[in-house]
C-alpha cells in the first residue's frame, strides 16, 4: 500500500482525536445525561490499558498471538468494567463533592499501582512489547489500519450513544440526572442505574485505553496524568455536554486543533513543540472549560432537544 | 514498637504539617462559601514558587520569604474570586459546573505557573539544616520550625475564625447571607477576606512543602486529593475537626510509609480508607427528602 | 357506618397501611409521633390538619423518602389481616412495585423531559431500562400509548412532545405519572392545589374511579371542599399525631377541629 500521501503526524493526531472523542462520548452518558462528573476518566482508561498490556506481554500464552491479543483486550475491558462497578458503588449515593473525591481517588490509585507494581507494569520505566494483531507491512501502514479500526470502534460507540438517546434507558438516565428523588419515587432504582452506567462507561473507557496502548506500543505512567480526563472533558463541554455529537465536534475543535492543525500545519519554531505548545495547550483547555461553562454552559450545540426527538419518534 | 510509634508521630507531624495548614485554608472556602475549589491547589503551588523565587533571586532568608509568598497566594486567591467565581455565582452556575470550572481554572493556573518558572524541578537555597533528635528520631531544624510555624499559624487562624469578631461576621455570612447583610455585615468585604485568608494559608503551606523538598508545577495538585479528603472527612466537625484529621492523616501516612517501606502504598491505603469513610457516612446521613 | 362499609367491600380487596410507633424529628423538633394509625379502612381517606401538623412528613415516611427515627410502616396488600410488607425497611424506589405511589405537594418535574417522555418514563418497566436494551423504545411506546393518550385527552393536554409549561400542567403531569404506575395505595399531597375548578373536578372524578376499583386513596388537601366531597373518612392531624378520625360530617361538626384549623364560618 502506498501511503506517501499520508503524514505520520496526521495519523497520530487523528488517532488522539478519535480516542478522545470516544472517551468524551462515554463521559457524555455520565456527565451529560446522568449529571455525574467523572474526574477519573484516565483511571478507567489507564486500568484498561495496563490490564491489557500486562496480560498480553507478561503471560506466556499457549496459543497464537492473535488469540492472546483478543483475550487480553477482553480482559482489559472487563477489569475496567469491574473497577467501574466498584467506583460506581462507592459514589452512586454521594453528592458532587463525594463523586469528585471518589473518581479522582480512583485515578490516583491507578497511577500509584502502575508505579509501584514494577514487576508487572514496568513502573516508571514503562512496559514495551505491545504490538498490532496483524502485520501488513510498514509501520505507517499498520498504524493507519489501526486508526481505521479504532475509528470504527468509536463510531460504534457514537451509534450506541445515539441509540441510548432514543431508548427508555436514555430517558431513565436523564430523569435520574435531572431529579433523582422524583425518579426514585416513580420506582426507578437510581443507585443501580448509576452503578451499571459506571460499569458500562468504564468498560468502554478501558477498551479505548487498551486500543490506545496498542498504538503507542509502550506503556508508561506519563499516560496516566490528568491530561486525558481534561481532554475528554473539554471536548465534551465545548461541543455540548448534553448532545450526542458534542464530543465529536468538541474533539476536533480542541485536540484536533492542537494535535493536527498546530502540529502539522502551522510552522512554529521547532523548539516550541516540545515545551511551550503542550503547556499553552493545557492553558487553553483550562480556559475553555471556564469560558464555556460561564457563558454557554451547554456548549456549541446547546441543550438536548427532547421535544424534537419525541416528535420524530412518536409524533404525527 | 515504641520506636515505630515515636517515629511515626515525629515524622508524621513534621513532614505533613503543611497538609494541616493547607486543609484549613481549603476548609475555610468550603465551609464558608460552599465551594469545592480545585484551583486552591494552585495557591499552594504559587506560594512555593514565589517563596523560592524571592529566596533564590534576592537571597532572602526562608522565613522572610513567607510573608511575600503568603501575600501573593492570598492575592491570587482573591483574584480568582473576582475573575471567575464571583461572575460564576452571578450567572447562577450550578454546583456541578462550578467544580468543573474550578478544575479548568486549576489547569490554567498550573500551566501558567509552569510557563513562568519552567518545567524543571526547583529548589530553595537554604543552608543545610541542623538535625535534632526527638524521641530518638532525627528531625531537621527546618521541619521542626515548620511544624512550630504551622502550629502557630493554625492556631491563629482557628482563633481568628472561631473566636474573633471578624470570624463571627464570616460565620454569620456563611450561615445566612441575607440576615448577615441586614445586620450590617458587608458581604463583599467579608467574602474577599475569606478568599484572602484561604489563599494565604495555601501559599504558606506551599512554601513549607517547597522548602521541605522541592518546587514543581504539580506540587499543589499532588496534595489536592489529600487536602480534599481531610476536609470532607474532618470538615463536618468544624475547623477543629479539620486540624485533627489533618494531623491524624499525616501520622497515618508516616506510619504506613514506615510499615510498607513505600510512600505510595501509604497514600493508596489512605485514599481507600477515606473514600470508604465517606461512603459509610453517606449511608447514615439522613437524606433531606424532596418527594 | 363502618360495618356497612365492610359489607359493601369484599374483605381483603383493598390494601392497608399500618403506621406503628413512628417518630420523626427534624433538628430536635418532633414533627411526627404516631403510636398507631391504620390507613385504607375506607376507599378514600382525607388527612387534614393545621400547617406543620406533619401530614406531608407522614406521607414521606410512608414512602420512606424520609427515614423514620423509629417505628415501622407496614403495607398489607390484601387488608390488615393478610400478610404484611414492612415498607420502612425498603428503599423508596421499591414502593412503586408494591403499588404504593405518592404525588407531590410542590411542583416536581424532570427539566429536560417532555410531557410524553415523562409519562413513558413512568410506564416503562425496568427490564427495558437496561444499558443493553437500546432498541426497545417502540415496544414501550406501543405497550402504553393507548393508556397515555387516554389521560392526555382526558385532561386536554397540549402537544405531548412539548415540555410541560405552566405550574398547573406540571402538577397534572405529576398526578398522571402516579396513575400510570397503576397504584394500589395512592397518596395524594394536595393534588388540586393551583388547579382551575374544572380540572379539580376531573382529578376528583379520576380519584373516585380509582377508589371504586379497589385502590386505597389517602389525600391531603387544603381545599376542604375536596376533602368533604371525596373522603369516606377523615383523619385530623395536629402536632404530629392523628388526634381524631371520623366521617366528614363528624369532623366538620367538631369544635376542636373548627377552632384549631377551620376557623369560624369556614364550614
Q: How many CB pairs under 8 A join B and C?
A: 18
- A29 grid coordinates: 452518558
- C84 grid coordinates: 404484611
**CA–CA distance, A220 with C83 (Å, rounded to integer):** 61
Helix axes B40-58, B62-80, angle to 10 degrees: 140
Taking contacts as CB-CB distances below 8 angstroms, the residues of chain A near B106 are 286
Q: What is residue C265's predicted lDDT score, i.e. its pLDDT?
A: 46
- A281 grid coordinates: 495547550
**CA–CA distance, A40 with A91 (Å, rounded to integer):** 12
Range with the poorest average pLDDT among B30-34, C39-43, C223-227: B30-34
For residue A285, give Cα distances in angstroms to A238, B29, C23.
10, 25, 52
How close, in Å, is residue A241 to chain C by CA atoms? 13
Asked if residues A46 and A17 have their Cβ atoms less than 8 Å apart, the reply is: no
**CA–CA distance, A157 with A132 (Å, rounded to integer):** 21
How close, in Å, is residue B64 to chain A by CA atoms? 31
* Helix H or strand E encompassing C86: strand C85-86
Q: Tell me, rounded to whole angstroms, the distance of Cα B83 from its chain centroid.
A: 21
Q: In percent, how much of chain B has pLDDT > 90?
A: 36
**CA–CA distance, A22 with A2 (Å, rounded to integer):** 29
Taking contacts as CB-CB distances below 8 angstroms, the residues of chain C near A198 are none
Q: What is residue C219's predicted lDDT score, i.e. its pLDDT?
A: 94
B partners (3+ CB pairs within 8 A) are A, C
Count of the separate structural domains present in chain A = 1
State the alpha helices, DSSP H only, in chain C: 2-8, 55-63, 115-123, 137-154, 167-180, 197-212, 224-230, 248-253, 255-257
Q: What is residue C11's predicted lDDT score, i.e. its pLDDT?
A: 44
- Residue found under cell 503471560: A59
Cβ atoms < 10 Å from Cβ of B53: 20
How close, in Å, is residue C65 to chain B by CA atoms? 5
**CA–CA distance, C61 with C100 (Å, rounded to integer):** 12
Nearest residue to B118 (alpha-carbon basis) of B53, B73, B74:
B53
* Residue ranges of chain A with per-residue pLDDT less than 70: 1, 316
The pTM assigned to this predicted structure is 0.92
Residue B286 pLDDT exceeds 50 = no
Q: What is residue C5's predicted lDDT score, i.e. its pLDDT?
A: 43
Average confidence (pLDDT) over B56-62: 87
Write out pLDDT tens, residues A218-254. 998 988 989 999 999 999 999 999 999 999 999 999 9
Compute the Cα dihedral for B148, B149, B150, B153 and give only its sign. Answer: positive
DSSP B184-207: T--HHHHHHHHHHHHHHHHHHHHH
Quick check: is A272 in a domain? no
Q: What is residue B167's predicted lDDT score, i.e. its pLDDT?
A: 77
Asked if residues C171 and C195 have their Cβ atoms less than 8 Å apart, the reply is: yes
**CA–CA distance, B34 with B16 (Å, rounded to integer):** 26
CATH class of the domain comprising B2-282? mainly alpha
For residue C19, give Cα distances in angstroms to B109, C239, C259.
57, 16, 27
Boundaries of domain holding A130: 8-225
pLDDT mean across residues, chain B = 85
Q: What is residue A215's predicted lDDT score, i.e. its pLDDT?
A: 94
How much is the CA Rg of chain C, to the nearest whole Å? Answer: 19
Q: What is the ipTM of this complex?
A: 0.93
Q: What is residue A296's predicted lDDT score, i.e. its pLDDT?
A: 93
Q: What is residue B283's predicted lDDT score, i.e. its pLDDT?
A: 66
Q: Do A197 and C102 touch (CB under 8 A)?
A: no
Nearest CA in chain A to B107: A286
Q: What is residue B291's predicted lDDT score, i.e. its pLDDT?
A: 58
Q: What is residue B290's predicted lDDT score, i.e. its pLDDT?
A: 59
Asked if residues C180 and C119 have their Cβ atoms less than 8 Å apart, the reply is: yes
Average confidence (pLDDT) over C185-211: 90
Best mutation site among C24, C62, C66 for testing chain B: the one with the most B CBs within 10 Å? C66
Residue C55 pLDDT exceeds 70 = yes
**CA–CA distance, A20 with A28 (Å, rounded to integer):** 12
**C2 pLDDT tier (thresholds 50, 70, 90):** very low
How close, in Å, is residue B21 to chain C by CA atoms? 32
Write out pLDDT tens, residues B215-256. 999 999 999 999 999 998 887 777 888 889 999 999 998 888
Asked if residues A174 and A305 have their Cβ atoms less than 8 Å apart, the reply is: no
State the Cα angle at B174 between B169 and B179, rounded to 5°: 70
**C262 pLDDT tier (thresholds 50, 70, 90):** low
Q: For strands C185-189 and C100-102, give the pairing.
A: parallel
CB of A296 within 8 Å of any CB in chain C? no
Quick check: is A78 in a domain? yes
Return the C-alpha torsion angle B273, B278, B280, B281, nearest 10: 140
**CA–CA distance, B34 with B95 (Å, rounded to integer):** 9
Q: What is residue C238's predicted lDDT score, i.e. its pLDDT?
A: 86
Q: Do A105 and B100 touch (CB under 8 A)?
A: no
pLDDT mean across residues, chain C = 87
Cβ contacts of residue B169 below 8 Å, gap of 6+?
B180, B185, B190
| CB-closest option in B111, B272, B276 to A282 | B111
**Which B residues 213-242 touch A at CB under 8 Å?**
221, 225, 228-229, 232
Q: Do A35 and B97 touch (CB under 8 A)?
A: no
Q: What is residue C1's predicted lDDT score, i.e. its pLDDT?
A: 35
Asked if residues A186 and C122 have their Cβ atoms less than 8 Å apart, the reply is: yes
A268-297: string of b/e by CB count within 10 Å (b at 16+)?
eeeeeeeeebbbbbbbbbbbbbbebbbeeb
**B203 pLDDT tier (thresholds 50, 70, 90):** very high
Quick check: is A135 in a domain? yes
Asked if residues A100 and B229 have their Cβ atoms less than 8 Å apart, the reply is: no
* Helix H or strand E encompassing C171: helix C167-180
Q: Do B291 and C65 touch (CB under 8 A)?
A: yes
Q: What is residue A1's predicted lDDT score, i.e. its pLDDT?
A: 61
Write out pLDDT tens, residues A129-142. 898 999 998 889 99
Asked if residues B142 and B211 have their Cβ atoms less than 8 Å apart, the reply is: yes
Q: Do A186 and C181 touch (CB under 8 A)?
A: yes
- A181 grid coordinates: 428523588
Q: Which residues pair with B131 in a beta bridge?
A: B140
Write out pLDDT tens, residues B138-174. 777 777 777 888 888 888 888 887 777 777 777 777 7
Write out pLDDT tens, residues A111-120. 999 998 888 8
In the three-class reduction of DSSP (H, G, I as helix; E, B as strand; rest coil), residue C242 is classed as strand
**CA–CA distance, A54 with B1 (Å, rounded to integer):** 38
Compute the Cα dihedral for C168, C174, C177, C178 and give only its sign. Answer: negative
**CA–CA distance, C224 with C266 (Å, rounded to integer):** 9
CATH architecture of C2-101+186-262: 3-Layer(aba) Sandwich (3.40)
Average confidence (pLDDT) over B21-37: 88
Asked if residues C232 and C5 have their Cβ atoms less than 8 Å apart, the reply is: yes
- Residue found under cell 488517532: A15
Q: What is residue C106's predicted lDDT score, i.e. its pLDDT?
A: 87
Burial class from Cβ neighbours inside 10 Å (0-12, 13-18, 19+) for residue B280 reads exposed
- Residue found under cell 389521560: C151
CB of C91 within 8 Å of any CB in chain A? yes
Q: What is residue B72's predicted lDDT score, i.e. its pLDDT?
A: 95
**C136 pLDDT tier (thresholds 50, 70, 90):** very high
Amino acid at each position: 500500500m502506498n501511503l506517501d500521501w499520508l503524514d505520520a503526524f496526521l495519523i497520530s493526531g487523528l488517532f488522539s482525536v478519535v480516542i478522545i472523542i470516544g472517551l468524551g462520548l462515554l463521559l457524555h452518558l455520565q456527565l451529560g445525561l446522568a449529571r455525574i462528573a467523572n474526574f477519573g476518566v484516565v483511571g478507567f482508561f489507564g486500568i484498561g490499558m495496563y490490564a491489557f498490556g500486562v496480560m498480553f506481554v507478561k503471560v506466556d500464552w499457549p496459543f497464537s498471538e492473535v488469540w492472546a491479543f483478543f483475550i487480553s483486550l477482553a480482559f482489559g475491558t472487563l477489569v475496567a468494567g469491574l473497577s467501574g462497578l466498584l467506583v460506581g458503588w462507592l459514589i452512586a449515593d454521594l453528592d458532587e463533592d463525594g463523586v469528585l473525591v471518589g473518581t479522582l481517588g480512583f485515578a490516583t490509585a491507578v497511577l500509584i499501582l502502575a508505579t509501584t507494581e514494577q514487576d508487572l507494569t514496568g513502573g516508571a520505566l514503562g512496559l514495551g512489547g505491545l504490538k498490532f494483531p496483524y502485520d501488513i507491512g510498514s509501520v505507517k501502514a499498520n498504524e493507519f489500519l489501526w486508526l481505521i479500526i479504532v475509528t470504527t470502534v468509536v463510531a460504534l460507540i457514537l451509534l450506541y450513544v445515539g441509540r441510548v438517546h432514543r431508548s427508555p434507558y436514555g430517558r431513565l438516565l436523564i430523569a435520574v440526572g435531572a431529579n433523582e428523588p422524583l425518579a426514585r419515587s416513580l420506582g426507578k432504582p437510581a443507585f443501580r442505574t448509576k452503578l451499571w452506567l459506571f460499569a458500562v462507561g468504564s468498560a468502554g473507557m478501558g477498551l479505548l485505553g487498551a486500543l490506545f496502548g496498542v498504538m503507542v506500543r509502550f506503556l508508561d505512567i506519563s499516560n496516566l496524568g490528568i491530561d486525558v480526563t481534561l481532554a475528554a472533558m473539554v471536548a465534551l463541554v465545548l461541543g455540548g455536554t448534553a448532545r450526542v455529537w458534542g464530543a465529536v465536534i468538541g474533539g476536533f475543535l480542541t485536540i484536533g486543533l492542537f494535535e493536527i492543525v498546530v502540529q502539522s500545519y502551522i510552522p512554529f519554531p521547532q523548539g516550541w513543540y516540545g515545551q511551550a505548545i503542550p503547556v499553552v495547550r493545557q492553558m487553553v483547555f483550562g480556559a475553555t472549560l471556564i469560558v464555556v461553562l460561564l457563558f454557554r454552559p451547554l456548549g456549541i450545540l446547546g441543550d438536548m432537544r427532547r421535544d424534537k426527538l419525541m416528535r420524530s419518534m412518536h409524533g404525527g | 514498637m515504641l520506636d515505630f510509634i515515636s517515629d511515626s508521630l515525629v515524622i508524621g507531624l513534621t513532614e505533613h504539617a503543611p497538609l494541616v495548614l493547607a486543609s484549613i485554608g481549603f476548609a475555610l472556602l468550603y465551609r464558608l462559601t460552599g465551594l469545592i475549589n480545585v484551583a486552591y491547589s494552585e495557591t499552594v503551588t504559587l506560594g512555593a514558587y514565589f517563596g523560592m523565587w524571592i529566596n533564590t533571586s534576592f537571597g532572602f532568608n526562608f522565613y522572610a520569604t513567607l510573608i511575600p509568598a503568603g501575600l501573593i497566594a492570598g492575592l491570587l486567591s482573591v483574584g480568582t474570586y473576582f475573575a471567575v467565581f464571583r461572575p460564576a455565582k452571578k450567572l447562577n452556575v450550578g454546583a456541578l459546573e462550578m467544580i468543573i470550572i474550578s478544575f479548568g481554572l486549576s489547569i490554567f493556573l498550573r500551566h501558567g505557573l509552569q510557563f513562568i518558572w519552567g518545567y524543571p524541578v526547583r529548589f530553595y537555597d537554604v543552608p543545610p539544616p541542623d538535625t535534632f533528635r526527638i524521641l530518638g528520631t532525627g528531625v531537621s531544624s527546618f521541619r521542626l520550625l515548620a511544624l512550630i510555624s504551622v502550629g502557630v499559624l493554625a492556631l491563629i487562624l482557628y482563633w481568628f475564625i472561631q473566636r474573633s469578631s471578624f470570624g463571627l461576621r464570616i460565620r454569620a455570612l456563611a450561615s445566612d447571607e441575607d440576615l448577615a447583610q441586614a445586620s450590617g455585615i458587608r458581604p463583599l468585604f467579608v467574602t474577599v477576606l475569606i478568599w484572602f485568608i484561604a489563599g494565604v494559608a495555601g501559599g504558606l503551606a506551599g512554601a513549607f512543602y517547597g522548602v521541605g523538598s522541592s518546587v514543581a508545577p504539580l506540587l499543589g495538585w499532588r496534595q489536592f486529593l489529600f487536602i480534599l479528603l481531610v476536609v470532607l472527612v474532618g470538615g463536618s466537625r468544624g475547623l477543629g475537626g479539620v486540624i485533627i484529621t489533618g494531623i491524624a492523616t499525616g501520622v497515618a501516612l508516616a506510619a504506613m510509609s514506615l510499615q510498607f517501606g513505600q510512600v505510595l502504598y501509604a497514600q493508596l491505603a489512605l485514599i481507600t480508607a477515606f473514600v470508604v469513610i465517606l461512603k459509610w457516612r453517606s449511608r447514615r446521613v439522613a437524606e433531606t427528602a424532596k418527594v | 357506618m363502618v360495618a356497612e362499609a365492610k359489607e359493601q367491600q369484599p374483605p381483603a380487596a383493598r390494601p392497608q397501611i399500618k403506621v406503628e410507633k413512628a417518630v420523626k424529628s427534624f433538628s430536635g423538633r418532633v414533627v411526627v409521633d404516631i403510636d398507631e394509625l391504620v390507613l385504607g379502612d375506607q376507599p378514600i381517606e382525607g388527612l387534614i390538619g393545621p400547617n406543620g401538623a406533619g401530614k406531608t412528613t407522614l406521607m414521606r415516611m410512608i414512602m420512606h423518602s424520609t427515614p423514620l427515627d423509629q417505628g415501622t410502616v407496614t403495607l398489607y396488600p390484601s387488608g390488615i389481616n393478610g400478610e404484611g410488607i414492612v415498607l420502612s425497611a425498603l428503599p423508596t424506589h421499591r414502593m412503586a412495585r408494591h403499588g404504593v405511589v405518592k404525588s407531590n405537594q410542590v411542583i416536581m418535574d424532570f427539566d429536560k423531559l417532555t410531557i410524553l417522555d415523562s409519562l413513558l418514563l413512568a410506564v416503562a418497566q425496568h427490564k427495558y431500562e437496561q444499558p443493553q436494551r437500546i432498541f426497545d423504545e417502540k415496544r414501550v411506546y406501543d405497550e402504553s400509548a393507548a393508556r397515555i393518550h387516554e389521560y392526555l385527552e382526558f385532561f386536554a393536554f397540549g402537544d405531548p412532545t412539548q415540555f410541560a409549561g405552566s405550574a398547573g400542567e406540571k402538577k397534572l403531569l405529576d398526578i398522571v405519572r402516579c396513575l400510570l404506575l397503576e397504584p394500589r395505595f395512592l397518596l395524594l399531597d394536595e393534588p388540586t392545589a393551583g388547579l382551575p375548578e374544572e380540572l379539580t373536578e376531573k382529578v376528583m372524578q379520576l380519584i373516585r374511579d380509582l377508589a371504586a376499583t379497589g385502590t386505597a386513596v389517602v389525600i391531603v388537601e387544603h381545599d376542604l371542599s375536596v376533602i368533604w366531597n371525596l373522603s369516606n373518612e377523615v383523619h385530623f392531624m395536629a402536632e404530629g399525631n392523628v388526634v381524631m378520625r371520623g366521617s366528614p360530617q363528624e369532623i366538620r361538626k367538631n369544635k376542636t377541629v373548627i377552632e384549631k384549623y377551620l376557623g369560624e364560618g369556614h364550614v
